[in-house]
Chains A and B, each alone.
Chain A
Amino acid sequence: MAADNEISAIYYIQHHLQNLTFGRHPENGWSLASTSAEATEMGFWAIHLDTMGWSIAMGVLFLGLFHKAGRMATTGVPGGLQNAVEMVIEFIENLTRSTFHGKNPHIAPIALTLFVWILLMNTLKILPVDYFPELFGRLGLEYMKIVPTTDVNATLGMALGVFFLIVFYSIKVKGAGGFAKELSLTPFNHWLLIPFNLILEIVGLIVKPISLALRLFGNMFAGEVIFILIALLPFWAIWVLDVPWAIFHILVVSLQAFIFTTLSIVYLSAAHEHH
Protein backbone atom coordinates (compact mmCIF):
# COMPACT_ATOMS: atom_id res chain seq x y z
CA MET A 1 0.00 0.00 0.00
CA ALA A 2 2.83 2.32 0.96
CA ALA A 3 4.70 1.42 -2.18
CA ASP A 4 1.57 1.99 -4.17
CA ASN A 5 1.17 5.41 -2.68
CA GLU A 6 4.76 6.19 -3.41
CA ILE A 7 4.43 5.21 -7.02
CA SER A 8 1.29 7.26 -7.48
CA ALA A 9 2.94 10.22 -5.79
CA ILE A 10 5.94 9.99 -8.12
CA TYR A 11 3.62 9.69 -11.05
CA TYR A 12 1.61 12.69 -9.87
CA ILE A 13 4.71 14.84 -9.54
CA GLN A 14 6.12 13.80 -12.87
CA HIS A 15 2.78 14.33 -14.50
CA HIS A 16 2.58 17.88 -13.17
CA LEU A 17 6.09 18.68 -14.27
CA GLN A 18 5.67 17.44 -17.84
CA ASN A 19 4.93 19.95 -20.55
CA LEU A 20 2.45 19.36 -23.31
CA THR A 21 4.93 18.55 -26.06
CA PHE A 22 4.29 18.50 -29.76
CA GLY A 23 7.08 17.32 -32.00
CA ARG A 24 8.54 14.75 -34.34
CA HIS A 25 8.83 11.41 -32.64
CA PRO A 26 11.26 8.98 -34.28
CA GLU A 27 8.50 6.35 -34.51
CA ASN A 28 5.19 8.19 -34.34
CA GLY A 29 6.10 11.15 -36.55
CA TRP A 30 4.65 14.60 -35.73
CA SER A 31 2.41 14.11 -32.74
CA LEU A 32 1.67 15.06 -29.16
CA ALA A 33 3.86 13.22 -26.71
CA SER A 34 1.77 10.92 -24.58
CA THR A 35 4.51 10.14 -22.07
CA SER A 36 7.54 11.93 -20.67
CA ALA A 37 9.80 9.41 -22.37
CA GLU A 38 8.24 10.17 -25.73
CA ALA A 39 8.72 13.89 -25.15
CA THR A 40 12.40 13.28 -24.39
CA GLU A 41 12.81 11.15 -27.50
CA MET A 42 11.52 13.97 -29.63
CA GLY A 43 14.74 15.84 -28.97
CA PHE A 44 15.12 19.41 -30.10
CA TRP A 45 12.41 19.43 -32.77
CA ALA A 46 9.54 19.66 -30.39
CA ILE A 47 7.61 22.51 -28.86
CA HIS A 48 5.91 22.89 -25.54
CA LEU A 49 2.45 23.97 -26.52
CA ASP A 50 1.42 24.86 -22.98
CA THR A 51 4.47 27.03 -22.34
CA MET A 52 4.06 28.84 -25.64
CA GLY A 53 0.31 29.19 -25.31
CA TRP A 54 0.29 30.53 -21.78
CA SER A 55 3.26 32.82 -22.26
CA ILE A 56 1.79 34.29 -25.42
CA ALA A 57 -1.57 34.64 -23.67
CA MET A 58 0.11 36.54 -20.84
CA GLY A 59 2.05 38.68 -23.28
CA VAL A 60 -1.11 39.50 -25.21
CA LEU A 61 -2.94 40.23 -21.96
CA PHE A 62 -0.16 42.61 -20.93
CA LEU A 63 0.05 44.36 -24.27
CA GLY A 64 -3.72 44.49 -24.66
CA LEU A 65 -4.23 46.07 -21.25
CA PHE A 66 -1.43 48.55 -21.67
CA HIS A 67 -2.36 49.33 -25.23
CA LYS A 68 -5.93 50.01 -24.16
CA ALA A 69 -4.68 52.28 -21.39
CA GLY A 70 -2.42 54.00 -23.90
CA ARG A 71 -5.25 54.60 -26.34
CA MET A 72 -7.37 56.15 -23.62
CA ALA A 73 -4.50 57.99 -22.01
CA THR A 74 -5.34 61.57 -21.18
CA THR A 75 -3.25 64.27 -19.64
CA GLY A 76 -6.21 65.07 -17.42
CA VAL A 77 -7.42 63.07 -14.46
CA PRO A 78 -6.58 59.41 -15.15
CA GLY A 79 -9.08 56.59 -14.69
CA GLY A 80 -8.49 53.36 -12.77
CA LEU A 81 -6.79 51.37 -15.51
CA GLN A 82 -4.69 54.28 -16.64
CA ASN A 83 -3.70 54.94 -13.06
CA ALA A 84 -2.53 51.38 -12.52
CA VAL A 85 -0.70 51.28 -15.84
CA GLU A 86 0.94 54.62 -15.21
CA MET A 87 2.11 53.42 -11.82
CA VAL A 88 3.89 50.48 -13.46
CA ILE A 89 5.29 52.70 -16.19
CA GLU A 90 6.57 55.22 -13.70
CA PHE A 91 8.12 52.45 -11.62
CA ILE A 92 9.93 51.09 -14.67
CA GLU A 93 10.95 54.56 -15.76
CA ASN A 94 12.51 55.29 -12.38
CA LEU A 95 14.19 51.90 -12.33
CA THR A 96 15.61 52.52 -15.79
CA ARG A 97 16.73 56.02 -14.95
CA SER A 98 18.56 54.90 -11.83
CA THR A 99 20.14 51.82 -13.44
CA PHE A 100 20.70 52.70 -17.07
CA HIS A 101 23.32 55.37 -17.67
CA GLY A 102 22.87 56.25 -21.26
CA LYS A 103 20.46 57.72 -23.70
CA ASN A 104 18.31 55.07 -25.28
CA PRO A 105 14.53 55.53 -25.28
CA HIS A 106 14.02 51.82 -26.02
CA ILE A 107 15.46 50.48 -22.79
CA ALA A 108 12.47 51.46 -20.66
CA PRO A 109 9.88 49.72 -22.91
CA ILE A 110 12.10 46.64 -23.07
CA ALA A 111 12.26 46.62 -19.28
CA LEU A 112 8.50 47.15 -19.07
CA THR A 113 7.85 44.20 -21.37
CA LEU A 114 10.18 41.96 -19.40
CA PHE A 115 8.81 42.98 -16.03
CA VAL A 116 5.09 42.78 -16.67
CA TRP A 117 5.32 39.71 -18.87
CA ILE A 118 7.40 37.75 -16.38
CA LEU A 119 5.23 38.99 -13.53
CA LEU A 120 2.09 37.75 -15.24
CA MET A 121 3.64 34.41 -16.14
CA ASN A 122 4.93 33.94 -12.61
CA THR A 123 1.58 34.90 -11.16
CA LEU A 124 -0.03 31.92 -12.88
CA LYS A 125 1.70 29.90 -10.21
CA ILE A 126 -0.64 31.22 -7.54
CA LEU A 127 -3.45 29.29 -9.25
CA PRO A 128 -4.03 25.87 -7.66
CA VAL A 129 -1.76 23.28 -9.26
CA ASP A 130 -4.52 20.83 -10.12
CA TYR A 131 -7.09 23.04 -11.80
CA PHE A 132 -5.67 23.36 -15.25
CA PRO A 133 -4.13 19.89 -15.65
CA GLU A 134 -7.50 18.47 -14.60
CA LEU A 135 -9.47 20.77 -16.90
CA PHE A 136 -7.30 20.10 -19.93
CA GLY A 137 -7.22 16.43 -19.01
CA ARG A 138 -10.99 16.38 -19.41
CA LEU A 139 -10.49 18.01 -22.80
CA GLY A 140 -8.20 15.19 -23.82
CA LEU A 141 -4.81 16.78 -23.33
CA GLU A 142 -2.55 14.62 -21.24
CA TYR A 143 -0.25 17.32 -19.87
CA MET A 144 -0.70 20.95 -18.98
CA LYS A 145 1.92 22.96 -17.13
CA ILE A 146 0.55 26.46 -17.01
CA VAL A 147 3.48 28.40 -15.56
CA PRO A 148 5.79 29.17 -18.48
CA THR A 149 8.61 30.34 -16.22
CA THR A 150 8.91 26.85 -14.71
CA ASP A 151 9.99 25.73 -18.16
CA VAL A 152 13.68 26.38 -18.72
CA ASN A 153 12.99 26.88 -22.41
CA ALA A 154 10.87 29.93 -21.68
CA THR A 155 13.31 31.61 -19.32
CA LEU A 156 16.27 30.76 -21.52
CA GLY A 157 14.35 32.03 -24.53
CA MET A 158 13.78 35.40 -22.90
CA ALA A 159 17.35 35.53 -21.65
CA LEU A 160 18.47 34.77 -25.19
CA GLY A 161 16.42 37.75 -26.33
CA VAL A 162 18.21 39.91 -23.77
CA PHE A 163 21.51 38.43 -24.91
CA PHE A 164 20.80 39.39 -28.51
CA LEU A 165 19.93 42.90 -27.36
CA ILE A 166 23.21 43.10 -25.43
CA VAL A 167 25.19 42.08 -28.51
CA PHE A 168 23.11 44.32 -30.77
CA TYR A 169 23.57 47.43 -28.62
CA SER A 170 27.24 46.67 -28.01
CA ILE A 171 27.84 46.63 -31.75
CA LYS A 172 25.54 49.58 -32.38
CA VAL A 173 27.17 51.80 -29.77
CA LYS A 174 30.80 50.78 -30.09
CA GLY A 175 30.84 49.44 -33.61
CA ALA A 176 31.85 45.90 -34.48
CA GLY A 177 35.52 46.82 -34.08
CA GLY A 178 34.95 48.49 -30.75
CA PHE A 179 33.03 45.50 -29.47
CA ALA A 180 35.75 43.12 -30.67
CA LYS A 181 38.36 45.33 -29.04
CA GLU A 182 36.44 45.30 -25.80
CA LEU A 183 36.23 41.54 -25.89
CA SER A 184 39.89 41.06 -26.69
CA LEU A 185 41.66 43.86 -24.85
CA THR A 186 39.93 43.91 -21.48
CA PRO A 187 40.72 43.42 -18.72
CA PHE A 188 44.40 43.10 -19.78
CA ASN A 189 45.38 45.61 -22.39
CA HIS A 190 48.23 43.72 -24.05
CA TRP A 191 48.24 41.91 -27.38
CA LEU A 192 49.87 38.84 -25.84
CA LEU A 193 46.92 38.39 -23.54
CA ILE A 194 44.27 38.60 -26.27
CA PRO A 195 43.33 34.89 -26.17
CA PHE A 196 43.10 34.97 -22.42
CA ASN A 197 40.96 38.10 -22.54
CA LEU A 198 38.74 36.60 -25.21
CA ILE A 199 38.04 33.52 -23.14
CA LEU A 200 37.34 35.61 -20.06
CA GLU A 201 35.05 38.09 -21.81
CA ILE A 202 33.14 35.59 -23.88
CA VAL A 203 32.49 33.45 -20.84
CA GLY A 204 31.39 36.59 -19.02
CA LEU A 205 29.09 37.47 -21.89
CA ILE A 206 27.50 34.04 -22.16
CA VAL A 207 27.09 33.67 -18.43
CA LYS A 208 24.82 36.71 -18.37
CA PRO A 209 21.79 35.17 -20.13
CA ILE A 210 22.37 31.78 -18.56
CA SER A 211 22.39 33.23 -15.06
CA LEU A 212 19.29 35.26 -15.86
CA ALA A 213 17.45 32.22 -17.19
CA LEU A 214 18.52 29.77 -14.52
CA ARG A 215 17.81 32.11 -11.63
CA LEU A 216 14.23 32.68 -12.72
CA PHE A 217 13.71 29.07 -13.73
CA GLY A 218 15.24 27.72 -10.52
CA ASN A 219 13.11 29.85 -8.27
CA MET A 220 9.90 29.19 -10.12
CA PHE A 221 10.52 25.49 -10.61
CA ALA A 222 11.42 24.94 -6.98
CA GLY A 223 8.34 26.82 -5.87
CA GLU A 224 6.19 24.77 -8.21
CA VAL A 225 7.62 21.50 -6.87
CA ILE A 226 6.78 22.58 -3.36
CA PHE A 227 3.24 23.45 -4.41
CA ILE A 228 2.89 20.00 -5.95
CA LEU A 229 4.28 18.35 -2.83
CA ILE A 230 1.86 20.30 -0.69
CA ALA A 231 -0.96 19.19 -2.97
CA LEU A 232 -0.06 15.57 -2.15
CA LEU A 233 -0.90 16.05 1.51
CA PRO A 234 -4.27 15.06 2.94
CA PHE A 235 -6.87 17.63 1.94
CA TRP A 236 -7.28 19.10 5.44
CA ALA A 237 -3.54 19.81 5.68
CA ILE A 238 -3.15 21.37 2.28
CA TRP A 239 -4.33 24.85 3.07
CA VAL A 240 -2.25 25.07 6.27
CA LEU A 241 0.89 24.95 4.16
CA ASP A 242 -0.44 26.08 0.82
CA VAL A 243 -1.73 29.46 1.96
CA PRO A 244 1.51 30.62 3.62
CA TRP A 245 3.54 29.30 0.71
CA ALA A 246 1.29 31.10 -1.78
CA ILE A 247 1.53 34.33 0.19
CA PHE A 248 5.27 33.96 0.33
CA HIS A 249 5.24 33.35 -3.40
CA ILE A 250 3.53 36.65 -4.08
CA LEU A 251 6.82 38.08 -2.92
CA VAL A 252 8.95 35.62 -4.88
CA VAL A 253 6.90 36.13 -8.04
CA SER A 254 7.35 39.88 -8.09
CA LEU A 255 10.90 39.76 -6.77
CA GLN A 256 12.05 37.39 -9.52
CA ALA A 257 10.38 39.52 -12.19
CA PHE A 258 12.07 42.56 -10.70
CA ILE A 259 15.50 40.88 -10.54
CA PHE A 260 15.28 39.65 -14.11
CA THR A 261 14.31 43.13 -15.30
CA THR A 262 16.90 44.98 -13.26
CA LEU A 263 19.73 42.70 -14.28
CA SER A 264 18.69 42.99 -17.92
CA ILE A 265 18.87 46.78 -17.63
CA VAL A 266 22.25 46.54 -15.94
CA TYR A 267 23.58 44.30 -18.71
CA LEU A 268 22.18 46.60 -21.38
CA SER A 269 23.67 49.58 -19.58
CA ALA A 270 27.06 47.88 -19.60
CA ALA A 271 26.62 47.20 -23.30
CA HIS A 272 26.25 50.96 -23.86
CA GLU A 273 29.37 51.90 -21.95
CA HIS A 274 32.68 52.66 -23.56
CA HIS A 275 35.79 51.46 -21.85
Chain B
Amino acid sequence: MNINMTLIGQTIAFAIFVWFCIKYVWPPISTALHERQKKIADGLDAASRASRDLELAQEQAAQTLRESKEQASQILDQANKRSSQMIEEAREQARAEGERLVAGARAEINQEINRAKEELRAQVASLAIVGAERVLEASIDEKAHRKLLDKLAAEL
Protein backbone atom coordinates (compact mmCIF):
# COMPACT_ATOMS: atom_id res chain seq x y z
CA MET B 1 0.00 0.00 0.00
CA ASN B 2 2.79 2.37 -0.94
CA ILE B 3 2.08 5.65 -2.60
CA ASN B 4 4.24 5.73 -5.70
CA MET B 5 4.33 6.62 -9.38
CA THR B 6 1.28 4.50 -10.02
CA LEU B 7 -0.62 7.54 -8.75
CA ILE B 8 0.72 9.68 -11.56
CA GLY B 9 0.32 6.93 -14.11
CA GLN B 10 -3.28 6.50 -13.12
CA THR B 11 -3.94 10.23 -13.38
CA ILE B 12 -2.41 10.29 -16.85
CA ALA B 13 -4.46 7.26 -17.89
CA PHE B 14 -7.57 8.95 -16.56
CA ALA B 15 -6.80 12.12 -18.50
CA ILE B 16 -6.25 10.19 -21.73
CA PHE B 17 -9.44 8.16 -21.28
CA VAL B 18 -11.49 11.27 -20.55
CA TRP B 19 -10.04 13.02 -23.56
CA PHE B 20 -10.76 10.07 -25.82
CA CYS B 21 -14.26 9.74 -24.46
CA ILE B 22 -15.04 13.42 -24.97
CA LYS B 23 -13.55 13.41 -28.43
CA TYR B 24 -14.56 10.10 -29.99
CA VAL B 25 -16.99 8.13 -27.85
CA TRP B 26 -19.58 10.51 -26.51
CA PRO B 27 -20.54 12.62 -29.55
CA PRO B 28 -21.65 9.93 -32.03
CA ILE B 29 -23.71 7.98 -29.50
CA SER B 30 -25.25 11.06 -27.96
CA THR B 31 -26.04 12.46 -31.40
CA ALA B 32 -27.63 9.21 -32.53
CA LEU B 33 -29.60 9.05 -29.30
CA HIS B 34 -30.98 12.54 -29.62
CA GLU B 35 -31.70 12.18 -33.30
CA ARG B 36 -33.67 9.02 -32.63
CA GLN B 37 -35.51 10.79 -29.82
CA LYS B 38 -36.42 13.56 -32.24
CA LYS B 39 -37.47 11.06 -34.89
CA ILE B 40 -39.73 9.23 -32.47
CA ALA B 41 -41.20 12.48 -31.24
CA ASP B 42 -41.83 13.54 -34.83
CA GLY B 43 -43.43 10.19 -35.58
CA LEU B 44 -45.72 10.44 -32.58
CA ASP B 45 -46.58 13.96 -33.59
CA ALA B 46 -47.40 12.88 -37.12
CA ALA B 47 -49.53 10.02 -35.81
CA SER B 48 -51.55 12.30 -33.57
CA ARG B 49 -51.91 14.76 -36.40
CA ALA B 50 -53.08 12.00 -38.72
CA SER B 51 -55.64 10.79 -36.21
CA ARG B 52 -56.88 14.34 -35.84
CA ASP B 53 -57.12 14.60 -39.63
CA LEU B 54 -59.01 11.33 -39.73
CA GLU B 55 -61.45 12.58 -37.15
CA LEU B 56 -61.95 15.74 -39.16
CA ALA B 57 -62.47 13.80 -42.37
CA GLN B 58 -64.95 11.51 -40.68
CA GLU B 59 -66.85 14.48 -39.40
CA GLN B 60 -66.81 16.02 -42.84
CA ALA B 61 -68.02 12.81 -44.43
CA ALA B 62 -70.86 12.58 -41.94
CA GLN B 63 -71.75 16.19 -42.64
CA THR B 64 -71.76 15.61 -46.38
CA LEU B 65 -73.87 12.52 -45.96
CA ARG B 66 -76.35 14.42 -43.83
CA GLU B 67 -76.53 17.23 -46.36
CA SER B 68 -77.01 14.93 -49.29
CA LYS B 69 -79.72 13.07 -47.43
CA GLU B 70 -81.45 16.33 -46.75
CA GLN B 71 -81.10 17.33 -50.35
CA ALA B 72 -82.47 14.03 -51.57
CA SER B 73 -85.50 14.30 -49.34
CA GLN B 74 -85.97 17.86 -50.52
CA ILE B 75 -85.84 16.78 -54.13
CA LEU B 76 -88.25 13.96 -53.42
CA ASP B 77 -90.61 16.37 -51.72
CA GLN B 78 -90.44 18.72 -54.64
CA ALA B 79 -91.08 15.91 -57.09
CA ASN B 80 -94.04 14.74 -55.07
CA LYS B 81 -95.44 18.20 -54.92
CA ARG B 82 -94.87 18.73 -58.62
CA SER B 83 -96.56 15.45 -59.52
CA SER B 84 -99.60 16.22 -57.38
CA GLN B 85 -99.65 19.64 -58.93
CA MET B 86 -99.53 18.12 -62.39
CA ILE B 87 -102.35 15.75 -61.54
CA GLU B 88 -104.33 18.65 -60.19
CA GLU B 89 -103.71 20.63 -63.33
CA ALA B 90 -104.68 17.72 -65.55
CA ARG B 91 -107.83 17.24 -63.55
CA GLU B 92 -108.62 20.90 -63.84
CA GLN B 93 -108.02 20.80 -67.57
CA ALA B 94 -110.16 17.73 -67.96
CA ARG B 95 -112.96 19.36 -66.04
CA ALA B 96 -112.73 22.51 -68.09
CA GLU B 97 -112.74 20.49 -71.28
CA GLY B 98 -115.70 18.50 -70.11
CA GLU B 99 -117.55 21.64 -69.17
CA ARG B 100 -116.73 23.15 -72.52
CA LEU B 101 -117.98 20.05 -74.28
CA VAL B 102 -121.13 19.99 -72.18
CA ALA B 103 -121.70 23.69 -72.89
CA GLY B 104 -121.20 23.08 -76.63
CA ALA B 105 -123.62 20.19 -76.57
CA ARG B 106 -126.11 22.21 -74.60
CA ALA B 107 -125.85 25.07 -77.09
CA GLU B 108 -126.38 22.68 -79.98
CA ILE B 109 -129.35 21.15 -78.25
CA ASN B 110 -130.79 24.62 -77.67
CA GLN B 111 -130.23 25.43 -81.28
CA GLU B 112 -132.01 22.22 -82.29
CA ILE B 113 -134.83 23.05 -79.97
CA ASN B 114 -135.11 26.53 -81.43
CA ARG B 115 -135.00 25.18 -84.92
CA ALA B 116 -137.63 22.62 -84.08
CA LYS B 117 -139.65 25.34 -82.49
CA GLU B 118 -139.27 27.50 -85.60
CA GLU B 119 -140.36 24.59 -87.73
CA LEU B 120 -143.20 23.85 -85.44
CA ARG B 121 -144.17 27.49 -85.46
CA ALA B 122 -144.08 27.50 -89.23
CA GLN B 123 -146.19 24.39 -89.36
CA VAL B 124 -148.57 25.36 -86.60
CA ALA B 125 -150.02 28.08 -88.82
CA SER B 126 -150.60 25.74 -91.72
CA LEU B 127 -151.95 23.08 -89.39
CA ALA B 128 -154.26 25.54 -87.81
CA ILE B 129 -155.46 26.74 -91.17
CA VAL B 130 -155.92 23.19 -92.34
CA GLY B 131 -157.72 22.45 -89.13
CA ALA B 132 -159.89 25.50 -89.45
CA GLU B 133 -160.64 24.73 -93.12
CA ARG B 134 -161.73 21.35 -92.03
CA VAL B 135 -163.81 22.68 -89.26
CA LEU B 136 -165.42 25.45 -91.18
CA GLU B 137 -165.61 23.63 -94.45
CA ALA B 138 -165.91 26.94 -95.90
CA SER B 139 -163.58 28.96 -97.88
CA ILE B 140 -162.09 31.59 -95.97
CA ASP B 141 -160.23 34.49 -97.20
CA GLU B 142 -156.95 32.83 -96.87
CA LYS B 143 -154.94 36.01 -97.16
CA ALA B 144 -156.80 37.82 -94.40
CA HIS B 145 -156.75 34.92 -92.00
CA ARG B 146 -153.28 34.02 -92.85
CA LYS B 147 -152.02 37.31 -91.57
CA LEU B 148 -154.00 36.85 -88.45
CA LEU B 149 -152.69 33.40 -87.86
CA ASP B 150 -149.11 34.36 -88.60
CA LYS B 151 -149.46 36.97 -85.98
CA LEU B 152 -150.80 34.38 -83.67
CA ALA B 153 -147.90 32.01 -84.49
CA ALA B 154 -145.38 34.72 -83.86
CA GLU B 155 -146.90 35.18 -80.45
CA LEU B 156 -146.28 31.56 -79.61
Q: Which residues of A contact B (CB under 8 A)?
A: 17, 19, 21, 23, 39-40, 42-48, 51-52, 55-56, 59, 62-63, 66-67, 69-71, 73-76, 78, 82, 85-86, 89-90, 93, 106, 108-110, 112-113, 117, 148, 151-154, 156-158, 160-161, 164
Contact = CB atoms under 8 A, between A and B. Distances in A.
Interface stretch (B15-23, B54-62, B124-132): B15-23
Interface in B1-60: 1-11, 13-15, 17-18, 20-22, 24-33, 35-36, 39
Interface string B65-83: 0000000000000000000
A48 B6 contact: yes
Contacts of B31: 73
Contacts of B32: 70, 73-75, 78, 82, 86
Given A71-B28, A75-B39, A40 B2 contact: yes
A156 B33 contact: no
26 contacts: A23-B4, A43-B4, A47-B5, A47-B9, A48-B6, A55-B10, A55-B13, A63-B20, A63-B21, A70-B25, A73-B29, A76-B36, A78-B32, A89-B33, A108-B26, A110-B21, A112-B21, A113-B18, A117-B17, A148-B10, A151-B6, A157-B11, A158-B11, A160-B11, A161-B15, A164-B11
B22 to A, nearest CB: 4
Interface of B: 1-11, 13-15, 17-18, 20-22, 24-33, 35-36, 39
Contacts of B9: 47, 52, 157
A62 B39 CA distance: 28
A89 B21 contact: no
Contact of A160 (B4, B7, B28): B7
Per DSSP, chain A at the interface is: helix
Contact of B5 (A23, A71, A148, A152): A23
Contact of A157 (B6, B20, B21, B22): B6
A17 B1 CA distance: 8
Nearest to A71: B28
Given A73-B31, A75-B32, 8 more contacts: A42-B2, A43-B2, A67-B24, A78-B36, A90-B33, A108-B26, A112-B25, A161-B11
- Residue from A43, A67, A70, A110 having most chain B Cβ neighbours under 10 A: A70
